[in-house]
Chain A
Amino acid sequence: MTLLSVKNLAIDLARGTDKHRLVSDASWQLDAGETLAIVGESGSGKSLTALAVMGLLADELAAAEGEILLDGVDLLQATQDELRALRGPQMAMVFQEPMTSLNPVKTIGYQLTEGVRHHLGYSAKQAKARALELLDQVGISDATQRLKQYPHQLSGGMRQRVMIAIALACKPKLILADEPTTALDVTIQAQILTLMSRLCREHGVGLVLITHNLGIVARHARRVVVMYGGRVVEEADAIQLYREPRHPYTQGLLASVPRMDSNRETELQPIAGAPPDPFDVIGGCRFNPRCRYVSDQCRAESPVLEDAADHSVACWNWFDVAKGLAIPQESESA
């Protein structure tokens, strides 16, 4: 069953009288209880998409087109009050920086109970019991003591556990996690992601995991959306995507990361150039200046996301690219 459906989403930035399109034509779906990863580099629009779902876009940004359906309700048409009622019991977000996204002057207990008291009408006593239960679920010991502490008294990993507990507090159906472990050490990263995956599975929560780390995607996600320059360039089942990447960008990403099981002597195959600035005007496919297989059509027309047997791709030459039939152009210098 589809929990969240993003259809032809476009996000505009208004600068004075100018309008700038930062995300265009983004479409994907998340089933209930499923984990979907959105992968992309800086400026790909992955965080903006998540903020649009939560209704948290800054004032100068606006979702200009498309729809975001959460259980059939269009979030883009919802009023601020309606959105506020949905955030918490229906959807929640875990941010990258637990230090800046927790309130430094409120206790952990206050921040954990705020949601259930406001949304679910819990009494102080019920809320406290719920908070203790949540801290236990996220593996924080001395829960009673922790409720009285402030964020600065906790380590980075602990803070992120608290963030997850807050997100889970009102039993949402959807959690969006934007680079939840990027700021953490590898062993803590593994702890947090394993914990988050397990809790979402146990409670049937749909998880959108936004990351740039292809290893994390491989370990935790079932479906993957690849974004580049504000567009979705590929979407597929994780195993399928890694086995047969169809977009030259996805192929390039996979060839760029060193693997623990690769031959150390093999040279990495980076993608030439750099990700585009969101304000760059690029005709046709946004990836064409960096693409090895660029053709005239790519410079002239923007490819649409083609839905082909559960593996969508936005590339004019995807078939040849995927099957290894495309001929790389002479690379130009960076």
Chain B
Amino acid sequence: MSAIPLLKIDNLHVRFPIRAGLLQRTVGEVQAVNGVSFEVNKGEAFGIVGESGCGKTTIARAILRLVNATEGEISYNGENITAFDRHQLTPFRRKVQAIFQDPFSSLNPRKTTKDIIGEPLRVHKLAQGAGIEQRINELLELCELPARFAELYPHEMSGGQRQRVGIARALAMEPEMIVCDEAVSALDVSIQAQIINLLERLRKELGLTYVFIGHDLSVVRHLCNRVAVMYLGRIMEIADAEPLFKEPCHPYTRALLDAVPNPDPAVEAGREVEPLQGEVPNPSNPPPGCVFHTRCPVAVDQCRHSVPRLQNTAHNQAAACWLAQPSVNSSSLNKEYVNV
């Protein structure tokens, strides 16, 4: 492990005001992200999973500085980016790129592929003159698109091809890190696999780091080596992908895993699944204590009034649950995951 993680999020809070009435006075606030901390090392693929309203997209936007942190710190390469001004942001934004869910609404419909990929090259002066075209062709090839696609408009391409253009545009900046917000969710099954493989190949070949936001657990498990499970603005569990999905410690992680059907009827026939009851509470009025207690099948009294902190349960695995058992092997605990 290197000394400084590429991305370090420390006790991040993001709150949005709720305004109402004629004067748009603030009448309350939504705690979109509530005391989240994690680290992403160079070359890692870090996954964030959770249901709507859990704050995963807000974290992505906070990393990209598209929303501002209310509290806490986001450090990139040891520098606190929450304090960056406009001049510092420009080079930062080149290093950290984003890929969005819907490749149709995130590409300008009036521009051809050539212009979409070429614009950031010109703005950041990464190529000039004939070099621009050469670079565009390189990028198309890298994303497995034929060169003739340079002349096409987004509506002339299929969803998968558009997503490849979105990836090529992100790569044009020669980024170190890419934030992928539901990057494969809108695609057909057979195309989704193509894009997953492409993302994986690019990470290996270019040494990229991903923060991958998703709701499809099997995709996240496949792509990411570390995963945080979020619920109502908080991290419920964080661990390496393999143990997280094999031996989940938090009841919410377990419930999520139960909810995902395996594409194998023979396995499903032998599986007794009791789906999680109830729905995600309103984030502007979260329940006291553990935010998950209203739906938790094993909640006890303690869960209803005190908030559990993230605690290591095994090496590199931590869960925010009063009932999660720390592993016997506590000497190997890694304290940095424990929340402040």
Contacts and interface: CB of A to CB of B under 8 A. Distances in A.
Interface of A: 41-42, 155, 157-158, 185-191, 194, 212-221, 238-239, 242-243, 252-262, 264, 267-272, 274-275, 333-334
B275 A191 contact: yes
B292 to A, nearest CB: 11
Interface of B: 51-52, 144-146, 158-161, 188-194, 196-197, 200, 215, 217-219, 221-222, 241-242, 245, 255-269, 271, 273, 275-277, 279-280
B266 to A, nearest CB: 6
A264 B190 contact: no
B221 A258 contact: yes
A218 B265 CA distance: 4
Nearest to B144: A334
Contact of A190 (B144, B196, B242, B259): B259
Residue with the highest number of chain A CB atoms closer than 10 Å, among B52, B160, B279: B279
Report whether over half of chain B's contact residues are helix, strand or loop; otherwise say mixed. Answer: helix
Given A260-B221, A270-B190, A187 B267 contact: no
Contacts of A257: 189, 193, 218, 263
A258 B257 contact: no
A332 B293 CA distance: 53
Choose among A185, A238, A255 the residue with the greatest number of B CB atoms under 10 Å from its CB.
A185
A226 to B, nearest CB: 12
B189 A253 contact: yes
B190 A256 contact: yes
A262 B196 CA distance: 15
A189 B275 CA distance: 9
Contact of A256 (B193, B245, B260): B193
Contacts of B159: 42, 274
Contact of B52 (A185, A253, A272): A185
A269 B190 CA distance: 9
A185 B215 contact: yes
A260 B257 contact: yes
B273 A268 contact: no
A228 B311 CA distance: 49
Contact of A268 (B197, B221, B241): B197
Given A194-B275, A270-B194, A187 B255 contact: yes
A-B interface, 8 closest residue pairs, ranked by CB to CB distance from nearest: A270-B193, A215-B261, A256-B193, A219-B261, A258-B222, A185-B51, A190-B259, A190-B275
A249 B236 CA distance: 39
9 contacts: A191-B277, A214-B189, A217-B263, A256-B190, A256-B193, A264-B222, A270-B192, A275-B191, A334-B194
Contacts of A155: 279
Contacts of B161: 274
A193 to B, nearest CB: 8
A263 to B, nearest CB: 10
A188 B295 CA distance: 12
A261 B267 contact: yes
A267 B193 CA distance: 9
Given A41-B188, A187-B255, A194-B275, A259 B263 contact: yes
A315 to B, nearest CB: 17
B257 A253 contact: no
A274 B191 contact: yes
Nearest to A257: B263
A139 to B, nearest CB: 9
Given A214-B263, A333-B144, 19 more contacts: A186-B217, A188-B51, A190-B261, A214-B189, A218-B264, A218-B265, A218-B267, A219-B261, A242-B263, A254-B263, A255-B193, A258-B222, A260-B218, A268-B222, A270-B190, A270-B191, A272-B194, A274-B191, A334-B144
A243 B265 CA distance: 9
A188 B259 CA distance: 8
B268 A218 contact: yes
Contacts of A268: 193, 196-197, 222
Given A157-B279, A257-B189, A260-B221, A186 B264 contact: no
A275 B188 contact: yes
A272 B266 CA distance: 28
A261 B273 contact: no
B218 A258 contact: yes
Contacts of A262: 222
Contacts of A238: 265
A291 B261 CA distance: 28
A254 B218 CA distance: 13
A253 B190 contact: yes
